[in-house]
Structure 1
Amino acid sequence: MDDVDQAVAAVADAAAGHVSRQAAGRGRLTEARRPARPAANGAGSAGRRFPARVGRDLIGLSRNCPTMLILIPPSETKAVPVASPPVELASLALPELAPVRTRLIKALARLARGRAPAALDALGLSESQAGELAHNRELLSAPAGLAAEVYTGVLYDALELPALHRRGVVTDQLLIFSGLWGVLRPGDRIPHYRCSAGVKLPALGSVSAAWRKALRAPLAAHAGDQLVVDLRSGAYAGLWVPGGNAVTVRVLHERESGGVVSRSVVSHFNKATKGRLTRTLLESGEQPAKPDEFAWLVRSLGYLVEPGPAGTRPDAPVALDIVVREL
């Protein structure tokens, strides 16, 4: 048994008991400087600031009883934690997923120890990103930091999770989907890694297929009858399909040229708006329980909201479009 096998076996044994441990130290992160927060919030009027908290008389929603679960994607760009303890699989969200996480970690480490060209191709990376393989070899021994601080990029810069934590804003209803970990809470501690949901690992197959099977029952039980606000996109949206009490959000950028108004999905606007929307929802403390209450709340927060494309399934989530003109 090699070092990785021994480490995986030790972690799997600890996770089998589903022991929940307190995170040991936040650690420090090394990352590129984040861009300054934009002056406008992208709700359709430049420069407008949304209220940090919605008044109780705004809408008859619960504040103290969680009735809403927000799903977001991860980020391909990540900070590198330093000087902190490694990941503890038993402490992550839905600890019953530890066996699947263990198999993926083991397969990813073995891929990273093999031929570099094949590993880069499997992970969808270029030669200039070969340094990512070193991180994937040491997943169980590398320093781990809060997911809220490890994930960076446009959506997470707009979401500002570390700032929300410092202010005491509750983020428990937020779930981050991941190709390697399945789902995470912002306070879960993870190392830097590279494994998107579209990856196929040798001897294991599609990461997405593994998670579609593994997440179905645990997430359905976790969500219960809560309203699921699905802000995921691409392969991450396919890892788990919520039931009928759910809403999906599409962001459309509206532009006018020569008197003609057009709308389209623009990646940067989509990520930035979803990050700000998530932050504003968490700051509001409101807990909509149904799609129509969610739409009402989002409009009350200053966003232009319209019905989106109708679903084809009887239990399909309600689709909403958020139209933005300025970042």
Structure 2
Amino acid sequence: MLLITAPSKTQHPEVREDKISTIPLLLDKTQQLIARLQQMSYQELAGLLKTSDRLRRSTIAKINAFSLPFTQKNSCPAIFTFKGDSYDAITPHSYSTEELAYCQDHLLILSGLYGLLRPLDLMQSYRLEMGAKLEISGYSNLYQFWKKEVTAELDRLVAGHREKTVVNLASAEYAKVIDTGQLGSAFITIVFRQHHDGRIKTIPIHAKRARGQMIHFAITNRIEAPEKLKEFNSDGYVYSQADSSPASWVFIRQGKSA
């Protein structure tokens, strides 16, 4: 079983020289992207990034400072870099050696710059959404640029697991990069909903937090079988058989309203 999730815009890399780390699997394509971005004018990058001037200048500085090879002095493992709502519940500093090993083998982070990252893959912080309309190497956007390689790598990795299932805990924006029809495994999307204004609906901020909580639940229990995820009950969420299907598992937050 593999869990996939989205990255976070909030990134605070730590200098860590005491931990095992790995190199991103698709770094060659990342280099292509960086080269393309470094060729763009300020005006072109402004149109692509759509951020405040302060963030834009910071992002451009990171693009220009990107350097190889990755080391533990100029880079940081992904799981120790990403912060924010989806990552608040993921606490790598508290994980045992066995839990970090599980995390490395069972979690993948989709990324506009790196394609996908394992938790201990070294990375340099960036800001590039998967939905960015960047033309590169004959592709009109990053979905086209990444789809084949990300899907193939995901398929290769899940094939090494006893339970050949991909559990999707990513946002729709990022999950779109995967060609599920080319996967030789089951693909299950986890949906989090709650009561709001007399209806049951997904509240994005709460869904983000719940995704991180489920990832933490899987890591600390070292879950191998997807069915065990149905036992997840953090923050009042309960699996709803009536609202679920084989490809979409729905968890409803009990007794909560936004």
Which category of TM-score, normalised to the shorter sequence, fits these structures? 0.7 to 0.9
Give the partner amino acid of 2:216: R
The 2-side partners of 1:110 and 1:80 are apart by 26
How far apart are residue 217 of structure 1 and its match?
2.2
Structure number, greater radius of gyration: 1
Work out whether 1:102 is the aligned partner of 2:31: yes
How far apart are residue 301 of structure 1 and its match?
11
How far apart are residue 309 of structure 1 and its match?
6.1
Work out whether 1:248 is the aligned partner of 2:175: no
Give the partner amino acid of 1:161: P
Cα-to-partner distance string for 1:153-210 (whole Å, 9 max, x where unaligned) = 1011122233225785431211111001011111111111111101133544311211
How far apart are residue 135 of structure 1 and its match?
0.8
Within-5 A mapping of 1:217-256: 217-224=152-159, 226-242=164-180, 243=183, 244-255=185-196
Work out whether 1:183 is the aligned partner of 2:116: yes
Q: Residue 79 of structure 2 aligns with which residue? A: 148
Give the partner amino acid of 1:246: F
How far apart are residue 262 of structure 1 and its match?
1.7
Cα-to-partner distance string for 1:288-309 (whole Å, 9 max, x where unaligned) = 0xx5x24544369974112446
- Kindly report the root-mean-square deviation, in angstroms, between the aligned alpha carbons of the 2 structures: 2.9
State the secondary structure of the residue aligned to 1:279. Answer: helix
> 62, 71, 89: which one pairs with 1:158?
89
Q: What is the TM-score normalised by the length of structure 1? A: 0.64
Give the partner amino acid of 1:236: Y
The 2-side partners of 1:126 and 1:163 are apart by 35
The 1-side partners of 2:200 and 2:239 are apart by 14
Cα-to-partner distance string for 1:261-313 (whole Å, 9 max, x where unaligned) = 3212111100111111110111112310xx5x245443699741124465xxx
Residues 148/162 of structure 1: CA separation in 2 closer, same or farther (3 Å cut): farther
Cα-to-partner distance string for 1:99-129 (whole Å, 9 max, x where unaligned) = 3222112112223xx22x3212212222231
Give the partner amino acid of 2:239: V
Residues 301/287 of structure 1: CA separation in 2 closer, same or farther (3 Å cut): farther
* TM superposition outliers: structure 1 runs of 4+ over 6 Å: 299-302
Work out whether 1:270 is the aligned partner of 2:207: yes
Does the 8 A contact of 2:169 with 2:211 survive in 1?
Answer: yes
Residues 253/302 of structure 1: CA separation in 2 closer, same or farther (3 Å cut): closer
Q: What is the TM-score normalised by the length of structure 2? A: 0.80
How far apart are residue 81 of structure 1 and its match?
4.5
The 2-side partners of 1:77 and 1:296 are apart by 29
Does the 8 A contact of 1:109 with 1:139 survive in 2?
Answer: no
Q: Residue 76 of structure 1 aligns with which residue? A: 9
> 62, 65, 68: which one pairs with 1:135?
62
Work out whether 1:122 is the aligned partner of 2:48: yes
The 2-side partners of 1:273 and 1:267 are apart by 10
Give the partner amino acid of 1:132: T
Cα-to-partner distance string for 1:120-148 (whole Å, 9 max, x where unaligned) = 22122222312211111111168211111
State the secondary structure of the residue aligned to 2:178. Answer: coil
The 2-side partners of 1:216 and 1:146 are apart by 22
The 1-side partners of 2:24 and 2:164 are apart by 17
Q: Residue 318 of structure 1 aligns with which residue? A: 247
Residues 195/300 of structure 1: CA separation in 2 closer, same or farther (3 Å cut): closer
Give the partner amino acid of 2:210: T
Does the 8 A contact of 1:253 with 1:265 survive in 2?
Answer: yes
Q: Percent identity?
A: 23
Residues 81/138 of structure 1: CA separation in 2 closer, same or farther (3 Å cut): farther
The 2-side partners of 1:273 and 1:184 are apart by 21
How far apart are residue 233 of structure 1 and its match?
1.2
State the secondary structure of the residue aligned to 1:171. Answer: helix
How many residue pairs align between the two structures? 237
Unpaired stretches in structure 2, ≥5 consecutive residues? none
State the secondary structure of the residue aligned to 1:212. Answer: helix
Does the 8 A contact of 1:120 with 1:126 survive in 2?
Answer: no
The 2-side partners of 1:73 and 1:279 are apart by 15
How far apart are residue 93 of structure 1 and its match?
4.1
